[in-house]
């Protein structure tokens, strides 16, 4: 059996160059194929979500605007973040120390945007289930748009803040040439990137499901006279409960995929390009960006109808934006 020998990233720097990750051609081909497939699938699926919510007017609701923002962040992961990971299969970073820091801006922005979007979705479902009478006045399209805008602005600012120490002297945490190591401000990320949002999501959804179960029991015990009088209200409640369950699945998958990233980052462990730990947590984050539209396809009939209209090119017909997809 042939032994794989490690090569230097920079042959002219014998004493200070990092070594490439020794991998067989079959292993490299498998990694390339896997990352390329996930990247393509993530881009296509999230693009379908973006087109669906943007084009069809029936889907222009506050909740769907938050889903649209989440799909945009997932789309950017598939389009801009995943392809770069293919370059790092051999562990070497050949683009310089400054580009190493700049590369992390987009992943940090999309990660932060996804976290904030999940908090906003949880708040939206909390108001819809726990205060349904005031939901139309409290949660409007303009307020949802403002929240989405603030979400992305805060994500950009947060990325600058987390990488501030690395911007002053790029490459200061590298142990050899060809390495890309960053150090994040752990205290800031601990409070604003993990504790506050994750706690908010969990607490809000626990409250949502408690109220949802209570409402479900109440609806089953309605007398006939009350059913006839408030049948429309019951229908609305059922749709809201279904949306809460669906988004609950999205949040559960999100927590499963993102918690390892924060746990490793906040433990003080340096994120090293090409390391097994980095590859595992990055793969989980990529998987979340790909799974979200898959969840929509399984739980949202409107998404399946929209995909059918898009694939069959019926979306190009006049007034297709007014089509009934609900």
3-class state of residue 8 by DSSP: strand
Q: How confident is the model at residue 3 (pLDDT cuts 50, 70, 90)?
A: very low
* CATH, domain 25-319, list 3.30.70.20, 1.20.1070.10, 1.10.3720.10, 1.10.10.10: 1.20.1070.10
319: β partners: none
Most confident range (mean pLDDT) of 56-60, 181-185, 202-206 is 56-60
- Burial class (CB within 10 angstroms; exposed 0-12, middle 13-18, buried 19+) of 299: middle
The values of phi and psi at residue 174, to 5°, are: -75, 140
User: Is the distance from CB of 68 to CB of 49 less than 8 angstroms?
Assistant: yes
User: Is the distance from CB of 292 to CB of 70 less than 8 angstroms?
Assistant: yes
Structure tokens at 149: 């805008």
pLDDT in tens, 283-314: 787 788 888 888 877 778 888 899 999 999 88
CA distances from 85 to 78, 100, 140, 158, 293 (A): 11, 12, 39, 23, 22
Only one residue has tokens 């989980």, namely: 284
Most confident range (mean pLDDT) of 84-98, 278-292, 311-325 is 311-325
pLDDT at 133 exceeding the cut of 80 = yes
| β-pair type (271-272, 181-182) | antiparallel
The rounded distance, in Å, linking the Cα atoms of 250 and 295 is 7
| Strand (E) or helix (H) holding 186 | helix 186-188
Region 133-158 average pLDDT: 91
- pTM of the predicted protein model: 0.80
Domain parsing of the chain, residue ranges = 25-319
CA distances from 91 to 21, 220, 285, 289, 301 (A): 6, 59, 19, 24, 43
* N-term to C-term CA, the chain: 60
Mean pLDDT of the chain: 77
Higher-confidence position of 189 and 154? 154
Most confident range (mean pLDDT) of 12-21, 70-79, 129-138, 193-202 is 70-79
Categorise residue 24: left if φ over 0, alpha if ψ from -120 to 50, beta otherwise.
beta
Q: How many CB atoms neighbour CB 178 within 10 A? A: 21
3-class state of residue 295 by DSSP: helix
Q: How many CB atoms neighbour CB 67 within 10 A? A: 25
User: Is the distance from CB of 173 to CB of 166 less than 8 angstroms?
Assistant: yes
């Amino acid at each position: 059996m042939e032994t794989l020998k490690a090569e230097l990233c920079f042959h002219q720097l014998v004493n200070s160059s990092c070594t490439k990750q020794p991998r067989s051609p079959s292993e490299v081909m498998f990694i390339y194929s896997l990352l390329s497939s996930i990247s393509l699938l993530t881009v296509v699926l999230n693009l379908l979500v973006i087109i669906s919510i943007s084009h069809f007017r029936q889907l222009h609701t506050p909740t769907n605007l938050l889903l649209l923002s989440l799909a945009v962040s997932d789309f950017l992961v598939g389009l801009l973040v995943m392809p770069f990971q293919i370059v790092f299969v051999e562990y070497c970073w050949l683009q310089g120390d400054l580009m190493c820091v700049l590369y992390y801006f987009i992943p940090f922005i999309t990660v932060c945007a996804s976290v904030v979007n999940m908090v906003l979705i949880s708040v939206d479902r909390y108001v819809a289930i726990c205060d349904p009478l005031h939901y139309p006045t409290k949660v409007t399209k303009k307020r949802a748009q403002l929240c989405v805008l603030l979400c992305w602005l805060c994500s950009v600012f947060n990325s600058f803040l987390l990488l501030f120490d690395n911007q002053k002297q790029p490459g200061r945490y590298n142990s050899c040439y060809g390495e890309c190591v960053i150090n994040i401000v752990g205290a800031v990320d601990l409070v604003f990137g993990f504790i506050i949002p994750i706690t908010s999501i969990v607490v809000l959804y626990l409250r949502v499901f408690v109220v949802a179960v209570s409402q479900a029991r109440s609806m089953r015990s309605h007398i006939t006279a009350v059913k006839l009088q408030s049948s429309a209200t019951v229908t609305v409640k059922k749709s809201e409960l279904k949306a809460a369950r669906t988004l609950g699945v999205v949040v559960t998958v999100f927590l499963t995929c993102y918690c390892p990233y924060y746990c490793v980052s906040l433990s003080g462990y340096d994120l090293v390009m090409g390391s097994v730990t980095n590859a595992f947590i990055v793969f989980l984050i990529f998987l979340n960006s790909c799974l979200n539209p898959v969840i929509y396809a399984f739980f949202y009939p409107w998404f399946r109808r929209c995909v059918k209209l898009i694939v069959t090119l019926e979306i190009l017909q006049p007034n297709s934006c007014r089509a009934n997809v609900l």
